[in-house]
Structure 1
Amino acid sequence: MEVIGAGFGRTGTRSLQAALELLGFGPCYHMASVMEEPYRVRQWLEIAEGRSRDWDTLFAGFRSAVDWPTSAYWRELAVHYPEAKVVLTVRDPAHWYDSISQTIFRSALEQRGRLPVRRRVIRRLVEWRAPDYALYPRMAKAAFIDPIFDGRIDERDHLIEVFERHSAEVRAALPAERLLVIEPGDGWEPLCAFLGVPVPEVAYPRLNDRAAFHHDRSRNMSRLILRGH
């Protein structure tokens, strides 16, 4: 493990994943890796519920990791991989809240309530075809929704406070030579300088806006129903 992402979801982590892979630090682990291979949900559940801390098995084959659930364990991972550098992705807290409340946390809140009939049928089909994926809500709750946000993902002021506190804690915990703080739009230069690699002759990736998030989620559900896992 050479690069650890400490930024919350919806801070440009999917773009950072693509950027790291273009720079030669791939494969890069992301929540998308969990969605694509649902057995990874059970691995994280073992960690989140305290039955495992086998980071080397979890990240076998990966040279970097970003997004949740990884970023929920940035302290442990920074200790376990002492040579790894840490990248903290941030953005305007209010914009982050607007994004996450319409994507990741919207999905989580829907799990708590009564879904429309069509969505309930799709969920049941996915649970039948991909039983590991059916554990995702439990894993997310145990890995970051409860320990980081105290389960209060429907409270705007609380979420923004947690977001700002997290950024401050990461900055305070790590020396400057080991930590890079970047925002969407910073481009290649700060990342490449931090990692000691040349700037590519392609544009910095821009991935996973809200529309893409919902499209990818629907596509993943369809894949799990058709193929199982």
Structure 2
Amino acid sequence: MLRVIGAGLPRTGTMTLKNALETLLGAPCHHMAEVFRNRAETDPPTFLAAAQGDYPDWDELFAGYAAAVDWPSSAFYAELAAHYPDAVVVLSRRDGFDTWWKSANNTILKDMHAAADLIGPVWMSMIDAIWDKTFEGAPRDDRDAVEAAYHRYHDRVRETVPAGRLIEFETGAGWLPLCEALDLPVPDAPFPYLNTTKDWNDRANAVPPGGVPADDRQS
């Protein structure tokens, strides 16, 4: 059963958040990295169908996970929040659109179409469907349209999730907001800091011909 539902977009520190939540909850956190590593055959068609309105058995899909952040799951924050009414919803975010846009363009957006031949049509259809669900069909190369949809998305999250249940978690916020919301002690360890733009591109540049990075291509 999910205790934490991520509503934040990719490139808002979701790999860091995954790691932090796994430390706090002592159980796995679903993330696009999990899809690439362990669920490449099952999750893409399942989330593609969900984006088309054919929802899965959420309990079965997330069996063994205590949290879910990043795409593809975060695109369904509203459905998951309704299904798991006791879960905390975390809206991870950057300090503004410009920061997010720069990071996204230097990582996921530039790689999306380049990866099409590697990851296959079902993966690309899932990503396209989740993009359209989140950004209301805004063309990925139209900065103004994406920015407008970006702000509408964050407004929808705030309108959908009651304030007492929602954590707005800006990158760099550390342990305290999560620990307070989950009523857990602050770990005696530094808060993680993972998957920078440099990390992403170092992995992407290391991919062998015909290969796909083994970890978080969408964090």
Q: Which TM-score bucket, shorter chain as reference?
A: 0.7 to 0.9
TM-score by length of 2: 0.85
Amino acid at match of 2:24: L
CA distance in 1, matches of 2:209, 2:59: 31
What CA RMSD, in Å, does the superposition of the two structures yield over aligned residues? Answer: 2.3
1:146 aligns with 2:135: no
Q: Give the deviation of 1:134 after TM superposition.
A: 5.2
Report the CA distance shift for 1:59/1:183 in structure 2 as closer, same or farther (over 3 A). Answer: same
Aligned partner of 1:27 in structure 2 is 28
Amino acid at match of 1:146: D
Q: Considering fraction of residues, name the structure with more helix.
A: 1
1:101 aligns with 2:105: yes
Amino acid at match of 1:138: S
Of residues 171-180 and 71-80 in structure 1, the stretch that sits farther from structure 2 once superposed is: 171-180
1:143-165: per-residue Cα shift (whole Å, max 9, x none)?
A: x2222220511111222222222
Q: Once the two structures are aligned, what percentage of the paired residues are identical?
A: 38
| Equivalences for residues 76-225 of structure 1 within 5 A | 76-91=79-94, 92-110=96-114, 123=117, 126=118, 135-142=122-129, 144-149=130-135, 150-217=137-204
Q: Who wins on radius of gyration, i.e. which is larger?
A: 1
- Name stretches of at least 5 consecutive residues in structure 2 with no aligned partner: 215-219
**Cα contact 1:6–1:87 (8 A) shared by 2:** yes
Aligned partner of 2:49 in structure 1 is 46
TM-score by length of 1: 0.82
**Cα contact 1:90–1:167 (8 A) shared by 2:** no
CA distance in 1, matches of 2:209, 2:179: 37
Higher relative contact order (CA 8 A, sep 6+): 2
Aligned residue pairs total 208
Aligned partner of 1:8 in structure 2 is 9
Q: Give the deviation of 1:222 after TM superposition.
A: 7.2
**Cα contact 1:103–1:213 (8 A) shared by 2:** yes
1:69 aligns with 2:91: no
CA distance in 2, matches of 1:220, 1:50: 34
CA distance in 2, matches of 1:59, 1:217: 28
Equivalent residue of 1:88, what SS? strand
- Name stretches of at least 5 consecutive residues in structure 1 with no aligned partner: 113-122, 128-132
**Cα contact 1:35–1:220 (8 A) shared by 2:** no
